[in-house]
Amino acid sequence: MAKPTITCTPAENRINGEEVLSFVVSNDSVEVTFTNYGCTIMSVLAPDKNGHKKNIVSGFARPADYLNSHPYFGCVVGRFANRIAFGKFTLNNLEYQLPVNNGPNHLHGGIAGFDKKVWRVKNVISDEDAAGVAFSYTSADMEEGYPGKLEVTITYSLNANNELILQYEATCDQPTIINLTNHSYFNLSGFSDATVDEHLLKINAKNYTKKNEHNVPSGEIAPVENTPLDFREYKRIGQNINELITDKGYDHNFVLQNSTGAISLVAELQEPVSGRLLQVLTNQPGIQVYTANWWDGSITGVQGVPYLQHGAIALETQNFPDAPNHSNFPSAALSPGEVYNTTTTYRFTVI
């Protein structure tokens, strides 16, 4: 495998007066493009079993295109990924109200979350083993209603083993909550197939966080056995997807079997025709599986085809949704002197 390389290109326009850049990292097998606007992964060119490359993630051609409305293509969401019930949480006996932007709930950091920020380029990585960029952002005290100033660094790097490694670090100056993830959507056919119904999915999870009528966890940890959410062995995504009528597909948090906190293999996604295989490794306790249930063909992406319902799948490694409001969930609290530190790896290979 070739030594990973990186190139940088300034965008045509500034966003919010700040310089926007795009970066291409490549090891001659896999090529990934990302931008400092929203820490967004714009494309992933990955080979099939015959060596033919296609872009397997949803997205646009230029960073400026992400200013238009879209369902979080490829970006980092935070401070708190996923939903917080009614936008409320209590921390150290103080109640906080966050913006409500998804029905009755707060979603993905609010109105202007991390996906809409221009991140600073902190460091460019280029060595024998990997190439990538460390991005940083300072979230001010009470930005989007969250307490405390938060210093965040997110590093994207591609190594010689076709692994895209996402490292998240953060510190704060007063108690706050945090839950970061990347929101890339994958279609391993390169969107040659309009849906991911024929993809095979496997998740290392015996349980999931059951939801209530407001689409947030009830607090109950329920078994996946005898439900459409049982992916303990490989299963076609389309096999049971139409049984999930309220959500129009999968939009569920799985409780991962990696309680030690070590980075481990938690999910695998296969596309049988191309032979592409995506493996997801993380030290996070949960993974949100979302099958683009509300895509309706109104957005045409860089592949030149409309993005249709169930056209891709997001595998969002994370803490549990609404974790601050459930004492039996892993804590989402971060205090001064502590370091939030999580890692997720997307490994691209073939079968």
Q: Identify the pLDDT of residue 164.
A: 98
- 16 confidence band (pLDDT: 50, 70, 90): confident
- Average pLDDT, integer, range 323-339: 98
Task: Indicate whether 63 pLDDT > 90.
Answer: yes
Q: Please give the radius of gyration of the chain, using alpha carbons only, rounded to the nearest integer.
A: 19
- Average pLDDT, integer, range 182-206: 98
**CATH code assigned to 5-350:** 2.70.98.10
Task: Indicate whether 13 pLDDT > 90.
Answer: no
Q: Identify the pLDDT of residue 258.
A: 74
Task: Indicate whether 65 pLDDT > 90.
Answer: yes
Q: Identify the pLDDT of residue 11.
A: 83
Residue 167 in tokens: 């490292």
In angstroms, rounded to a whole number, what is the distance separating the alpha carbons of residues 120 and 151? 12
pLDDT in tens, 195-215: 999 999 999 999 999 999 999
- Average pLDDT, integer, range 173-200: 98
pLDDT in tens, 143-172: 999 999 999 999 999 999 999 999 999 999
Which of 255, 227, 258 lies closest to 241 in space, CA to CA? 227
316 is catalytic: yes
Task: Indicate whether 83 pLDDT > 80.
Answer: yes
The label of the residue with tokens 């993380």 reads 282
Q: DSSP state, 257?
A: S
Q: Residue 90 contacts by C-beta under 8 Å, 6 or more apart in sequence?
A: 96, 324, 325
Residue of 183, 199, 252, 326 marked catalytic? 183
Q: Identify the pLDDT of residue 1.
A: 66
Using alpha carbons, list the distances in angstroms from residue 40 to 1, 25, 74, 162, 288.
26, 14, 5, 19, 18
Using alpha carbons, list the distances in angstroms from residue 336 to 4, 94, 177, 216.
36, 17, 11, 29
Using alpha carbons, list the distances in angstroms from residue 142 to 93, 99, 149, 272, 275.
17, 11, 8, 47, 47
Residue of 31, 163, 271, 316 marked catalytic? 316
Q: Identify the pLDDT of residue 259.
A: 63
Instruction: Tell me the domain boundaries of the chain.
Output: 5-350
183 is catalytic: yes
In angstroms, rounded to a whole number, what is the distance separating the alpha carbons of residues 4 and 1? 9
- pTM above the 0.95 mark? yes
Beta bridge partners of 279: 268, 347
pLDDT in tens, 257-315: 876 778 999 999 999 999 999 999 999 999 999 999 999 999 999 999 999 999 999 99
pLDDT in tens, 219-247: 999 999 999 999 999 999 999 999 999 99
End-to-end CA distance of the chain: 18
Which of 278, 11, 319, 315 lies closest to 182 in space, CA to CA? 315
